Structure 1
Amino acid sequence: MATDYTRFKWHDTGYEEWIRELDETELSYTSLHRNWRGSGRSFFHMTGHLTLEVPVENDADLSTIEKRVDSALAKAWLALRYYHPTIASQTKLDPLTGKYIKAYPRNSIGWLEKTFFVLSTGHTGAEWANHDPPAPALPTLYALVVPPSEHKRVVRRDLVFRSPHDIIDGIGTLLLFDNYVRHTAEAFAQGDTYQPPSLDDPTVFQNLSPPFRVAAAIPPEPSEEVMHRLADLDLADAADKARNAEVATLPYKKGAFTPGIHRRVELKLSPEETARLTGACKDVGATVTHVFHAAIVLVLRNLQPIRDDPRPVEYVGYLLRNERGSCVPAFNGHEHAAAVYHSTSSEKLIVNMTVPGRNNDSPKETRQQEEKNEFLQIVQKMREFYLKVRDDPEHYRLAPLLWARRSIPPPLDEHAIPSVLAPSDSPSASISSMGRIDNIIRQKQGEIEVYNPWVTGEELRNGLGLFLGTFRGSLSPSAAYNDA
C-alpha cells in the first residue's frame, strides 16, 4: 500500500480534466456495477426522491408560476454543480495505470441538457421510478410535472435523482437534496435576477470531494490495532464456517437468471400511528429500527420450511454505518454531500433461533407468549449490537480494509462484459434506517414546501432491502426488490 495519498488528490491532467484514484469504498461499488454489466443494468444505482410544492395565490397565473419554478430548478442544478462538482464526474478505467479513477471535465457546455429534464409523463415521481427509469453514467435529475390534488393550489414537482453509487451514497443524496432546495428557493425568489455561479470559475475545483480515506484522515498504513482486529475477524469467520449452521434465507421463485426491474413498495404511517409506535418502542428501551430489524429476523425464521422436529437456524447480516461523523470538517456535513462516506459493520449480526417442528403440541396461547418473549429478546440483542457498532470509535479506520475484503475485483478491461452472476442460494433481508430525515432535509425553504424524501439503491439480486425513514412525523417503512 502506498504511504501517501497523492493518488487520491484531484489533479489537472492538462487535457481539460481533473482526476483522482478511487478508494476501497468507491471501488466496491464500481466493482458491483462493472461485474453486473452483463445484466444490462447498474447494480445499486442510486434513486433519490423528493416532492416540492410551491403555493400559488388565487389571483396568480398558474402557468407563469410553473415556468418560474422550472427555471429555478434548472438554475439551481447549475449552482449545485459549482458547489458539488463531483456530481459532474464519472468513474472510468485509466488506460495508462490500469486503475479506476474519478474524472471531472473542465468543459461544462451541454452538461445541463444532458443531466436535467422536466418530464410530463402522467406519473408521480414514485410511479415513474418504479417503471425502469434510465440509469445514466452521469448523476441526473428528473423533475416530474405532477398535478396537485383538488384541495391544493400549488405547483408540484417530484424530483427523481439517479446516480451511480460510486459517486454518492444514500445519506449524501438526502444532503444534496437539501442543498438543492435551498438553491431552488433562492432562484425562485430572485427570478430573472438570479444567476448561478460560473462553472468556469477556477475555484470550482476546490469543491471536488475526496474519497473517504482522505475525508476521515485515515492513515495510509493500518495501525497494529487495526491489524489485530482484522485477525480477530478472520478467526470469527473461520469459527462461523466450522459451525456449518443453517441460515434463515428468504424464499424465492427459482427460474429467472437475469435481473429484472428494480421495484420499491412503501407503507406510510400517519403521525398518530408513528407516535404510538415510537412510544411503544421507547417502553421497551428500543428504537423503531431495532424493533423492525427484530421483526425481519422473526419473519424470516417463520418462513423456513417446517419439518417434524425443531431445528436451529441463524439470521446473518451486517449494518450500514454513516461515516460522515468520522470525517473532519468540512467533510462531515452538507458541504460534501456528493461522496461515498459510509461503511459496513465489522462483525456479523448473528441471531440464533429455533424453527418449531410439526410435532409441537403446545397450546396456541403458550406458543404466542413464547414468540412474544423471543421477539423482545431479539429486540434487546438488536439494541446491543446497534449501539456497539455506533459507539465503536476505531471502526472507521478499519472500514476501507473491510470494503476491499468483501468486494469482487472489477474487470481490468473497460469494455469487458462479465457473465451475469447466479442468484444467491441464501438470500436474506437487510434494513437501512435513515432515522429522522427532518434532521437532514428541511421541511420548508423560502416558498418551497418539501415532502416524500426517500432513497434506495438498485437491487439486482434476489435479496430484499428494507428501509426506514421519518419525515414530518410520519414513518415510512419501504422495501426494494428485483422484479425477477
Structure 2
Amino acid sequence: MPWTKITSGHYQRPIGENESFIKFIGDSGHVHHRDNWSIAATASFKPRSSLFDQDSSALLRRAWMILRFYHPSIAATATEQMVDYHCVSDAGQLDHWADETFITHVDKSSTPQQIISKLQPSRYATVHYLPHSFQVILHLSHWRTDGVGALQLLDAFLKAVISALHQDVTTLAWGEEWQRLTLSVEEILDLPMTASSEILDASSKFIATLANTKCALGTPYRGDNQTVPGGTQSVRIRLSALTTQTLIDACNRLGICLTSAVHAAIAATNFLIAPVERVEKGKEQHHTSTLRVNVREYLPAPYNTSDYAAGLYTGGYMVKVSDPQNWLENARLYEQKYRQGATCEFLQSRRQYALTVKSLLQTRQPENQQPPSSGLDISSVGDAGVHVQASYGSGDAGLDVCSVSLGVEVLARNMYCFMWTFCNQLEFNLVYNEAFYDRQFLENVLDTLQSVLKENCI
C-alpha cells in the first residue's frame, strides 16, 4: 500500500515485511544500547582551495538538510506496524531535526572507528562529521536501506555539499518532499498478501538453506554464552591498483568475478582458522556463508535508480561448501549463484520469506546449553565507484574523495568481511565485536585471506 495522508503534512504506510524482519533484528540490540546490523557508510575527502572558505560544519549541515529534501525517507520513523513521515513545516522544525541528526565531532583525536564503536540507536538516520580530518559517517538502521543504498546516499550527500555552497535550503518546496518517500520491496514487486502454493514452495526453498548453518565451521571467539557484547570494531586494508588489476585479470581468465574469488578465499580462510576443539569428530566439515542479492537491479523504473537509495532492496540465502582444498571449484559454485541473481522464485518469495524467518526468530529458544554460533561471512557491493564519485564540483569549488568504507553493527560472534573496489583498488573491511575478538587476530585473518586469494589467483 502506498503512502496515505493522515493529517496535513503527516503521511503513513504499512511497514513492509522485509523492513519489519530487519527492524526486529535491529531492535534486538537495544538492550545493549545498539542498533544491530545498522549500517555505517564512511567517506574521507579532500576539499579544494575555495570550497570551505566558510565554516565547513555549517556547510555540511545545510547539505544534510538538502539531502532530506531529496531523500525524505532518512527522516521517516518506524513502529512494528507503520512507517511515518512528517513534512517540514517551517525553518524551526528543520533546524530541530538537523540539531538531532547532524553531529560534529570537534575533538581532533576522534576517528571514525571510535565513533562507530559507540553509535546508539536513533529514530532517524544520522550523519557524523569530523572537520579536522574531513570525514563523514552516515549511520542508518538496516530496515531503512542496504549497503548499495547507503553508498548512494553518501553520494547524494556529497553532491548536496556542492549544492549547499549556493542553495538556500529554506527556498526548497518543503511540504512536497513526501512524494519522494520510498516504498517497501513488497509493494514495488506487487506481491500478493496471501501466498500462493508456488510462493510458499519458493519461500520454503530459500528458508531450507538456513539448515546449512547447522554444525557449520565457527571461529575462535572469546567468552561464553554470558559474555556481553561490546562495541563494533573493524580492520581495513586496501590493495594496490596493480595488485587489484592482476587479481581481476586472473579472475577473467578463470571465468569468475572478483567477488566469487574472494568468497572462495573467505571459505578457505574459515577452514584454516576454525577452532579445533569445536569441530565434531567424524562429521564432514563445511563453511556456510550468505549469498547476497542486490534486488535493486531487478526492480522496475524508477525504483532501480539512486532516487530510491533510502529503501531496503536486498536479500540473500545460505550456501555451504565442504572442500577447503578446491578453491576454484568453490569459486565457480559462488559464481554460478551470483550470476543467477534474483530469480523469479527469489523475488516472489520476498514477503513470505521475511514473514517466516521473523516468526522463527521470535519463537527461537535461547541457546543456553549450546556454544554460541560464530563464523566468517562476506558482503560485497562490487565497484563502489559506480555509486560514489571520485570527485564533486568543478574547479576550486569542489572536493575529491580519498576513500569510502562500509560496515554494520555486530553484536554476535560472527565476523563480516565487506569488500568493494574504489578508484581501481580492492578494499576489505573486516567487522567484529570487541568483546569476542582482539584486533591482532582480525589482522591475522585478513593476512590469511589475502594470502589465500593471491596464491589461488595469481
**TM-score, normalised on structure 1?**
0.79
| Equivalent position of 1:74 in the other structure | 61
Aligned in 2, Cα 1:309/1:14: closer, same or farther, shift over 3 Å?
A: closer
Are 1:184 and 2:158 matched, yes or no?
no
Report the Cα distance in structure 1 between the residues aligned to 2:170 and 2:252, rounded to whole angstroms.
Answer: 47
| Equivalent position of 1:454 in the other structure | 405
| Equivalent position of 2:216 in the other structure | 247
Counting matched residue pairs gives 421
Report the Cα distance in structure 1 between the residues aligned to 2:371 and 2:38, rounded to whole angstroms.
Answer: 20
Q: Which residue identity is paired with 2:31?
A: G
Q: Deviations over 1:374-418 (max 9, x none)?
A: 122222222222223x1624421212222222225898xxxxxxx
| Equivalent position of 1:322 in the other structure | 294
Are 1:385 and 2:323 matched, yes or no?
no
Report the Cα distance in structure 2 between the residues aligned to 1:237 and 1:208, rounded to whole angstroms.
Answer: 33
| Equivalent position of 1:360 in the other structure | none
What is the SS of the residue equivalent to 1:226? helix
Are 1:163 and 2:144 matched, yes or no?
no
Task: Determine which of 114, 127, 130 is the counterpart of 1:141.
Answer: 127
Report the Cα distance in structure 2 between the residues aligned to 1:40 and 1:430, rounded to whole angstroms.
Answer: 24
Give 1:325 shift. Answer: 1.5
Give 1:302 shift. Answer: 2.5
Aligned in 2, Cα 1:426/1:309: closer, same or farther, shift over 3 Å?
A: closer
Conserved? CA contact 1:143–1:158, under 8 Å? yes
Q: Deviations over 1:104-136 (max 9, x none)?
A: 123534111111122222246533334423442
Conserved? CA contact 1:53–1:448, under 8 Å? yes
| Structure 1: gaps (5+ residues) | 58-63, 93-98, 148-156, 355-370, 412-418
Report the Cα distance in structure 2 between the residues aligned to 1:17 and 1:391, rounded to whole angstroms.
Answer: 35
1:197-346 alignment, distance < 5 Å: 198=171, 201-232=174-205, 246-255=215-224, 257-304=227-274, 305=276, 312-345=284-317
Larger Rg: 1
Conserved? CA contact 1:48–1:161, under 8 Å? yes
Task: Determine which of 16, 30, 35 is the counterpart of 2:23.
Answer: 30
What's the RMSD between the two structures over aligned residues? 3.0
Conserved? CA contact 1:139–1:161, under 8 Å? yes
| Structure 2: gaps (5+ residues) | 436-458
What is the SS of the residue equivalent to 2:349? helix
Between stretches 453-462 and 293-302, larger displacement belongs to 293-302
Give 1:326 shift. Answer: 2.0
Conserved? CA contact 2:372–2:413, under 8 Å? no
Give 1:245 shift. Answer: 7.3
What is the SS of the residue equivalent to 1:449? strand
Task: Determine which of 46, 51, 75 is the counterpart of 1:88.
Answer: 75
Report the Cα distance in structure 1 between the residues aligned to 2:380 and 2:47, rounded to whole angstroms.
Answer: 29
Report the Cα distance in structure 2 between the residues aligned to 1:458 and 1:197, rounded to whole angstroms.
Answer: 35
Aligned in 2, Cα 1:482/1:231: closer, same or farther, shift over 3 Å?
A: closer
Give 1:421 shift. Answer: 7.9
Q: Percent identity?
A: 19
Give 1:449 shift. Answer: 1.1
Report the Cα distance in structure 2 between the residues aligned to 1:410 and 1:382, rounded to whole angstroms.
Answer: 27
Report the Cα distance in structure 2 between the residues aligned to 1:251 and 1:327, rounded to whole angstroms.
Answer: 40
Conserved? CA contact 2:3–2:11, under 8 Å? yes
Aligned in 2, Cα 1:89/1:440: closer, same or farther, shift over 3 Å?
A: same
Q: Deviations over 1:238-271 (max 9, x none)?
A: 9x58xx9742122212235221101111011111
Report the Cα distance in structure 2 between the residues aligned to 1:124 and 1:52, rounded to whole angstroms.
Answer: 16
Q: Which residue identity is paired with 2:390?
A: Q
Aligned in 2, Cα 1:337/1:230: closer, same or farther, shift over 3 Å?
A: closer
Report the Cα distance in structure 2 between the residues aligned to 1:462 and 1:19, rounded to whole angstroms.
Answer: 37
Give 1:281 shift. Answer: 2.0
Report the Cα distance in structure 2 between the residues aligned to 1:478 and 1:13, rounded to whole angstroms.
Answer: 43
Task: Determine which of 323, 327, 330 is the counterpart of 1:353.
Answer: 323
What is the SS of the residue equivalent to 1:460? coil
Report the Cα distance in structure 1 between the residues aligned to 2:296 and 2:135, rounded to whole angstroms.
Answer: 27
Report the Cα distance in structure 2 between the residues aligned to 1:309 and 1:106, rounded to whole angstroms.
Answer: 60
